[in-house]
A = this chain, B = another copy of it.
Amino acid sequence: MRLLRGLSVALMLMPFLAVAEPLPSWNDTGARATIIEFVERVTDPASDDYVTPADRIAVFDNDGTLWSEKPIYFQGLFAIDRLREMAAEDEDILSSDVLRAAVQGDLAKVAAAGEAGLLEILATTHSGLTADTFIAAARDWMASARHPGTGMAYDDMVYQPMLELLHYLRDEGFSTWIVSGGGLHFIRAFAESAYGIPPHQVIGTTGKASYVVTDGQPVIMKDPSIFFIDDKAGKPLAIEARIGKRPILAAGNSDGDFQMLEWTTSGEGPRLGILIHHTDAEREFAYDRDSHVGRLARGLDEGPDRGWLIVDMTRDWERIWPGR
């Protein structure tokens, strides 16, 4: 009975235990209140806007929304480091100007080669190995590589306010999904440890793959070509194919997220679209309309009229990264 008595006391005390306020790293500048008001509205069984937990789907872009994306997408920096390693073992893989520019660190030349150049670097470094081996390689890189500007580990450059938002939503019965233009396996390498998002809730750009059986042992090999690009209109299409329900909350930071927010917020009932606006050159980076990564123009033009919440990082976030 001792255990039961202890349980009874705990049950009685529960209502009086201090409950931490949600979103502590968000300033009281409006955005925080908008989010909390939305969540309370959809989780209150007495509300007309109540949404059952199974339908509380929240989708998040990754680069620029959950972690930083400058000077280029971190996956691009990983690919270049990996290309250097591969070239150290076999120089013949540097079979084009863009590959040679990449290992020399000539990001301007890589950028000048456009999407085709980037895809060539990704194809070279992201294929010819199993999905498991690739994920292990990405984790090794993440454990040792440091950001050229901040000197931080890349997975320390996740946004503390967004981590709090993910936790808050899950505490309130939401399921949280990543819907990113970044590579599926690259994101899976850190999504569970960094964000608490399991592999099946990561949607990303996906390469082709092959099922190969050697001496009775099957493996899944990553192939060089692209199967699906999870960007722009691809995002709502992937959400429909993968989740099968329209989200009620979507967060992004660039025009690549426009259709995902449009799809989410044009559904019936309560909806919340969030755009992270990178305004903070001092603590992070400031960019929008003219940036080659994370370009945000249409979202700024149309978002406010669509009722989307534009988060101003300088004004609305008390902290950027967990450490600082």
Interface residues of chain A, those whose CB is within 8 Å of chain B, are 1, 4, 7-8, 11-12, 54, 131, 184, 188, 198-200, 202, 206, 209-211, 213, 216-218, 220, 233, 236-237, 240-245, 259, 262-263, 266
Q: What residue in chain B is nearest A131 (Cβ atoms)?
A: B240
Contacting residues, chain B, for A8 (C-beta < 8 A)? 1, 4, 7-8
Copies in the assembly, this chain: 2
Chain B proximity of A160: nearest CB distance (Å) = 25
Contacting residues, chain B, for A209 (C-beta < 8 A)? 237, 240-241
Contacting residues, chain B, for A198 (C-beta < 8 A)? 54, 244
B213 and A262 form a contact (CB under 8 A): yes
B241 and A206 form a contact (CB under 8 A): yes
Chain B proximity of A153: nearest CB distance (Å) = 23
In the complex, A217→B209 CA distance in Å?
35
Chain B proximity of A136: nearest CB distance (Å) = 14
From B12, B200, B202, B237, contact of A220 by CB (8 A): B237
Contacting residues, chain B, for A241 (C-beta < 8 A)? 184, 206, 209
In the complex, A188→B11 CA distance in Å?
41
In the complex, A242→B228 CA distance in Å?
13
In the complex, A236→B220 CA distance in Å?
8
B184 and A217 form a contact (CB under 8 A): no
Chain B proximity of A204: nearest CB distance (Å) = 10
From B4, B188, B240, B243, contact of A244 by CB (8 A): B188
From B4, B200, B236, B245, contact of A245 by CB (8 A): B200
In the complex, A4→B237 CA distance in Å?
50
Q: A198-B54, A199-B245, A242-B242 are in contact. Are A218 and B4 (CB under 8 A)?
A: no
In the complex, A209→B242 CA distance in Å?
13
